[in-house]
Amino acid sequence: MNFIRPFLVAVAIGAFAAAPGSAKSDADDMSATAAGFYSAYKSLPADGVPDAAGRTKLEPFISQTLEKLLSDAAAAEAAFAQGTKGQSPPLLEGDVFTSLFEGATSFKIGTCKSEGRKGTCAAELTYASPNQKPVVWTDTVYLVQTDAGWRVDDIGYGGSWDFGNKGRLSETLKFAIANANG
């Protein structure tokens, strides 16, 4: 009986000591996933829903839910183009992954926080164009923990200008899917 109390104290101390390291590891893992996502994103054209090749570049960093939304939105765009015989602009124009129509030319991942199997990272994004003052804003990357690790599940647009993307990426993609038939 005397050995049980020290054993329980040691287990409790070990669990408590492991918790901050675990949170730190989650933050590091989420940051690495978000950085990988934006690195892959930078190789894509900033124009609407990415094609299959573009989605393949993002695949190691995104959730199955986001992959399905992107795939369904691409199919919706194709159906819309066919239905309008290419006479209407696409449902989604410009960059869909950031607040700014032109997209981002650089990124910096800020603070990441986890709560259970969900987390967020702040993404400071910059669009720099020659002879113009850079535009800087912060979007929120929403992540989920999967069996394969942390994956980007959604993006919250944080730009404050009038004509930027608003809400979340998932809402934007669902809009395209819902409006494919005109």
Q: What is the pLDDT of residues 107-165, one digit of tens each?
A: 999 999 999 999 999 999 999 999 999 999 999 999 999 999 999 999 999 999 888 99
pLDDT (tens digit, 9 = 90+) per residue, 74-87?
A: 999 999 988 888 88
Give the Cα separation of 99 and 114 in Å (integer): 23
More confident residue, 78 or 2: 78
Q: How confident is the model at residue 23 (pLDDT cuts 50, 70, 90)?
A: low
Write down the pLDDT at residue 2: 52
Q: What is the pLDDT of residue 182?
A: 63
Per-residue pLDDT tens over the stretch 49-71 = 999 999 999 999 999 999 999 99
Output the furthest CA–CA distance in the chain (Å, rounded): 82
Contact in structure between 100 and 125 (CB atoms under 8 Å): yes
The confidence band for 22, taking pLDDT boundaries of 50, 70 and 90, is: low
Q: Which two tokens stand for residue 159?
A: 């730009």
Summary mean pLDDT of the chain: 88
Its domain, for residue 106, covers 4-178
Torsion of CA 43, 49, 51, 52, to 10 degrees: 100
Q: Which tokens is 71 given?
A: 């795939």
Helix or strand holding residue 86 (H, E)? none
Distance CA 106, CA 102 (A): 12
Residues 6+ apart with CB under 8 A from 164: 99, 100, 101, 157
Q: Residue 131: which region, alpha, beta or left (left: phi > 0; alpha: psi -120 to 50)?
A: left
Angstrom distance (rounded) from CA 77 to CA 83:
10
Cα–Cα dist 114/137, whole Å: 22
Specify the amino acid at residue 109. Answer: I
Give ∠ CA 86-157-166 in degrees, rounded to 5: 60
Domain count, the chain: 1
